[in-house]
Structure 1
Amino acid sequence: MSTVSQPLTRAVFPFTAVIGQEDMKLALILNVIDPKIGGVMIMGDRGTGKSTTIRALADLLPKIDVVADDPFNRAPDDPEVQRDRADLPKTQKKVPMVDLPLGATEDRVCGTIDIEKALAEGVKAFEPGLLAKANRGLLYVDEVNLLDDHLVDVLLDSAASGWNTVEREGISIRHPAQFVLIGSGNPEEGELRPQLLDRFGMHAEIRTVREPELRVQIVEQRSEFDRDPQRFLTQHQAEQDALQQQIVGAQERLPQVTLEPEYRLKISQVCSELDVDGLRGDIVTNRAAKALAAYENRTEVTVEDIQRVIALCLRHRLRKDPLESVDSGYKVEKTFSQVFGLAEPTAANGRQPTGVR
């Protein structure tokens, strides 16, 4: 008697087992709690676990309710879905994690309209692209600094608006594209233009771990996972479940979190003194601080919350010249300390000034 084999799923390294890189992990978690923060730009050395950590986060998140076979992963209670038909079949699926390949064309990203079919049959024949697939999930662009500027603009516009519009020969299609945009790259291969970099909500800089003991621990963990993935996953399952519940709880708690007017004023003062263009830095810092408070099971933002996120939210907005490097965070933290009346950071207790390693 023949048996039907179950499809094999590839084991994903658990998020809670990732050692170090705390700025990257925090920025990713906060963006999942509040996608309106605007995504994360992760710059750092090769082989520092950027891709591994991002895939691990997607795998950690709970499944979402979707309309069965819907190309846009829409929720069953989506008003557009309800308008078409209220009794559509429902199912659950993992949060989408879409990798955007470097050589992707605009059609592959945005989707295409079959003009001939549209003209001949009078229907909008739309072939969805990667933005449709990423709706309600994560869109990851490795080496984003090598991507065509126009395509980066398209991604950022969709991430900010939550919609993707495709127009061809007078025919227009619009569909939801709500996703957390995550870009990564190596600074040695060039930075994004300041105008594009500013559009990312947060910027995390990661470096190769230098401590020999930690390096050994990372290598041993990876070897253990490769040798027996299921056993390794089982060992970390309790931590994974706890973190998943913490994130879900934070998403539910976020609307109740408050930020004192005095703190909002001081955040804007920091942005003003750092000569940050526009108001995006103010808005993102407010959102990230609230998300952090929600993540830590609180409904009121503290000065410590703001201190932990402000460099991640502002450091990439100080660069006016494309030839400059992104600030290490020292300048932001120094100005924050002055405005909030705290002790100024030094090389010993804060981030080092730019250029110091």
Structure 2
Amino acid sequence: MRSGARSRTPELLEAGLSRRSEANWFALELSGAWITETVAAREKDMASLGTSNDIRTSQQVVLDLSDVEALDTAGAWIVQRTANRLRDRGFQVEIAGVEGAREDLMKAVSEAHEPERPAGATGGAVGLVERLGESTVALGRDARDLLSFLGLCIIATGRALIHPKRLRIVSLVNQIDQTGFRALPIVGLLAFLIGVVVSYQGAGQLARFGAQIFTVNLLGVSVLREMGILITAIIVAGRSGSAFTAQIGTMKVNQEVDAMRTIGLDPVEILVLPRILALVLVLPLLTVYADFMALLGGAVMAMVQLDIDFSRFISQLHDAVSVWSFWVGLFKAPVFAFIIALVGCFEGLRVGGDAESVGRQTTRAVVEAIFLVIVLDAFFSIFFTLLGV
């Protein structure tokens, strides 16, 4: 950015500098071209101001740019940096001879290089209230942005329903493979072990009352209504939700998302929608699979610890668990899947321009998704209890 060429070509001029001092003030008069090609020669002179005898006793310092014939961002930055350094040393500094475009340039440079305020060291009750207020404002801002992102996703979904050709089937199938089939081993193993643990611990407690057979009831109800879907959702949030954030965040760092917008493509439609639809389709199936593996683990433990054969286990499970227990858990799955994918993609699109931001937003995505899943699970538990289901 350059302003102020008057008569001669700026590149042919030099950055002039002269000093004039009187009783209680000191003037530094700049002339010529203060641009990128010339300011380097004057940077040492500007840096030495405040240490020489002629300015040390002065209280008022004027940086006069009236005779400057050309000024660009580099020159304005040198002048502004000098003014800030002198103010830090206790001088009263005035920048004169700037008007119009030069005034706008100096203002822009000043705002761009304004030092950040150090974090307040307020302690006690006042500091606690201050931090609580800042956290509340930040939480409200994040909730507002997430709600806006939800609206964008709904609009993109509506467009895909009206024009099915806009939906990228290849991306959808790829996401189903990534989030569904490749998650089967870890989901199955952990669900099996959860079934073993619940059966083992339940049998130990119920043995005090001679009611070991009701371990099957405990296992069936807890797994089908709560544990199956909750464990699956947490695994998917840590595995697929974090992957969504990292993938989209890396694209943000490499400016691929900006390139999409430049050529007229909608990142929500291309990157977000296939991931949300894939997870909504996959998580109910993963939940059914996790329920089966958890019940299988409980059945194995019941046979080993309680000497309950498989046919008796199935009979007791049939009497203890209604079909509603299965549907209650399955009903939560699409909702949890939507929340996990929404948060993962939302945090991915909020990644900044550095690699550190990718890691930070990935951590936020996992924490937020798991938190929201548990909150919604508590809400559903209360809701279904009130309905008597």
Structure (1 or 2) with the greater helix fraction: 2
Which of 1 and 2 has higher RCO (CA within 8 Å, sep 6+)?
Answer: 1
Q: Which has the larger radius of gyration?
A: 2
Structure (1 or 2) with the greater strand fraction: 1
TM-score interval w.r.t. the shorter chain? under 0.3
Q: TM-score of the superposition, structure 2-length normalised?
A: 0.19
Q: TM-score of the superposition, structure 1-length normalised?
A: 0.20
